[in-house]
Amino acid sequence: MTISSKPEAVSAEPSWGDSYRLIAADKWKAKSAAMGKAVTEALVEYANPQPGMRVLDLASGTGEPAISLAMRVGPLGNVTALDLSADLLEIARERARERGLKNFSTQPADAHSLPFADNSFDLATSRFGVMFFRDPCLALRELRRVLEDEARACFLAWGPFDQPYFRTMMGVVHQYVGGALLQPDGPDPFRFAVPGSLSALLESAGFSEVHEETKTLPWTWPGTPQEVWAQAKAVAVPFRPMLDRVPALMWPRVDAEVHAAVGKYFDGEKVEFGASVVLASGQKKQ
C-alpha cells in the first residue's frame, strides 16, 4: 500500500490491480520509494537479515522491502517477493534488474495458500500488507508452515488514521462527503492500529517470542502537495468507495482544501508528513 499504502497488493479484490493504479505505481515509483525509504529501512533493520538467508516478502507489490532485503542477504541468499498482482510484481522485477540483483525472484500467489514446501524460509517480512489479508490468522498459520524452526516473521502496519498523511487528504474528503470512511467489509489500513492487536494475532497463529512496538518515522514526499495528492488518489484502494462519492462539481473545492492542508507540511521542496507505524514480530518454535 503507499496508502495500503500498499501500492503493494494483498487483497483478493481485483481493484488492487486496476490499470489506473498500475499506471500510477509506475509513474510515481521513484518518489513513492523515496517517501517509503525510512519505513522500509526500519522494517529491514527490525528483521535483521543475515547473509545467506532465504527470505519471503509477503504482499511485496512493487518490491519493497524485498529489494532492500536482497541487497542485505547477498549472493548466497535469496529473496522471494510474493503478491497477488503479477503486474505489480513486474514493476518489482524491473526495479531489481536495474540494481543488478541476481538473488531476487517473484511469485504471484495468495498469502492464504503459499506455493512452498514446509520449512522453506529463514525469515519472512511484510510491509503494509498484513492489514489486508482476508483471513489474517489463516495467512499467518500458512506463513508459519513455510518457515524454518527458529525463523522470525516481521511485519510493519499502519498506526491510527489520525496522523498527517491521512488527515490532510482522506480526512478532508471525508469532511465533504460524510458516510463511511472505509467500507465495513472492505480493506482496512488501520486494522492493527490498536496497540497489542497485531501481537495477539501472531500469538493466535502459533508464533512465540512475540514483540510489538509503535514508532514515528519520516514519511516525506519529495515534491509538491499537488503531486502527493494525485498519487494518493490513484493508489488509495481502501478509500476508493469514499472518493467515488465526491460529485464532479465538488472536486475543485476538495482539491484546493487538500492542497492547503498538505501545504502546511511543505517546505518548498518536500512534504514532511511523518508516519506512525506498528512493528511486530514472532518466532516459529516447534
Query: Over the stretch 24-50, which tens digit does the pLDDT of each residue have?
Result: 556 777 888 899 999 999 999 999 999
| 83 or 30, greater pLDDT | 83
pLDDT at site 237: 87
Cell of 30: 521513484
Kindly state the percentage of the chain with pLDDT values over 90.
Answer: 84
In the chain, how long is the greatest CA-to-CA distance?
A: 60
CB 279 within 8 A of CB 154: yes
- 218 pLDDT higher than 50: yes
pLDDT at site 26: 66
- 204 pLDDT higher than 60: yes
pLDDT at site 5: 39
* CATH architecture of residue range(s) 14-283: 3-Layer(aba) Sandwich (3.40)
Query: Over the stretch 47-70, which tens digit does the pLDDT of each residue have?
Result: 999 999 999 999 999 899 999 999
C-beta neighbour count of 267 within 10 angstroms: 8
pLDDT at site 60: 94
d(CA 64, CA 66): 5
CB 81 within 8 A of CB 8: no
Locate the domains of the chain by residue range: 14-283
State the pLDDT confidence band at 7, using cuts at 50, 70 and 90. very low
User: Which segment of 18-22, 103-107, 120-124 scores lowest on mean pLDDT?
Assistant: 18-22
